[in-house]
Chains A and B, each alone.
Chain A
């Protein structure tokens, strides 16, 4: 199974980008093109998810998966926080910020896993896109709750208002686009999607390859440029996703999700955010060191999950069934 993953063009493009950055190649993807690809991919997966839900309708499974996703996102930061303080040696303020990243999700890991799993005949249910959107934010609240009373107020700076923070989180571009495209897909349905299908369906895998090339470059550069990673933190950046993936897989199987959906729930549990949460944490907890949480989530956990994690979590689900 791991050989299938490692020979997939999607993963190989990611490895190519990672390698190019490691050897300090001048390969680069124009920023505007990278941003355009991410918009395209999020719109495409949102649309596809919405269409599938429109076709299949709401189900008990969807409700269970939503509850599981919300619960995972809210609770996973708790063990992560204690591990980061005790074994990682982080200050509470840094540990809380990192923990929030590990409760939230990575859209790119999700979309890559969806493609890999679909290629193996384990296509996840369409509604898992909505579950992913649901899992973006509870971890931020959880991380902030863990930090209650642990960060001293800064003189001269009014406390960040909860309303402003929630606005920041819910108006995040990726959340708006994903949820919006999902709703458009639900409204349009299969027939309404047909005229735009050539754009959003035919080129999807090719664009994903190029996007992962870019993400490989971004992840490796973050890893090279970091000076904040210690050995315990590197170990935790791999151990926490495996642990969270196992919890996600067990929960997915326990609530009766199909193997593909359970595997993608495990992937979501294992993934760490590097888009929505860093911006929210920087605003809410400016004292926390972004060099720590970005290096862990983007520099280590993200490449680990893309190259090895997806296969591991899918295998966990298959063993549990």
Chain B
């Protein structure tokens, strides 16, 4: 049986042009890895949106990172002040990972 440990999975839905801002924050709290996932379409309080490659105007992505409790909390503290102004959706949940020392 492989041993697993609990880590935090952080997901941020974000307008694609704003990704560098969050990546800088991820680096600042010493989270070593992240992934950017393309989002096709969605909807919310402000209406629906759809990605199109021609204008790229409404492009959204999901930034995904796995981190320890402390690092995840540090990232949440940094992101919280801009959640409203930058129209971000931030979720944090527990996940089980193998090789916990990597996160």
Q: Report A's interface with B, CB cutoff 8 A.
A: 31-32, 34-35, 38, 154-158, 168, 214-215, 218, 221-222, 225-228, 274-275, 278-280, 282-283, 286-287, 289-291, 294, 298
Contacts and interface: CB of A to CB of B under 8 A. Distances in A.
Contacts of B21: 157, 286
B17 to A, nearest CB: 4
Interface stretch (B4-12, B61-69, B81-89): B81-89
A275 B47 contact: no
Contact of A221 (B18, B50, B53, B85): B50
A154 B47 contact: no
B46 A227 contact: yes
A219 to B, nearest CB: 9
Nearest to A294: B57
Nearest to B51: A31
Given A155-B81, A156-B82, A225-B50, A282 B56 contact: no
For chain B, the bracket of interface size reads 20 to 34
B73 to A, nearest CB: 14
Contacts of A225: 47-50
Nearest to A32: B53
Interface string B15-50: 101101100110000000000000000000011111
Given A225-B48, A228-B46, A286-B82, A298 B53 contact: no
A286 B51 CA distance: 19
Chain A binding surface SS class: helix
A35 B56 CA distance: 10
Interface of B: 15, 17-18, 20-21, 24-25, 46-58, 78, 81-82, 85-87
A156 B24 CA distance: 11
Contacts of A38: 54
A31 B18 contact: no
A34 B47 CA distance: 24
A227 B17 contact: no
Contact of A156 (B15, B50, B52, B81): B81
B101 to A, nearest CB: 29
A282 B58 contact: no
A158 B46 CA distance: 27
B47 A291 contact: yes
B13 to A, nearest CB: 14
B82 A282 contact: no
B57 A34 contact: no
Contacts of B47: 225-228, 291
B17 A283 contact: yes
A214 B54 CA distance: 9
Contacts of B82: 154, 156-157, 286
B85 A274 contact: no
A283 B18 contact: yes
A210 to B, nearest CB: 12
Contacts of A35: 53-54
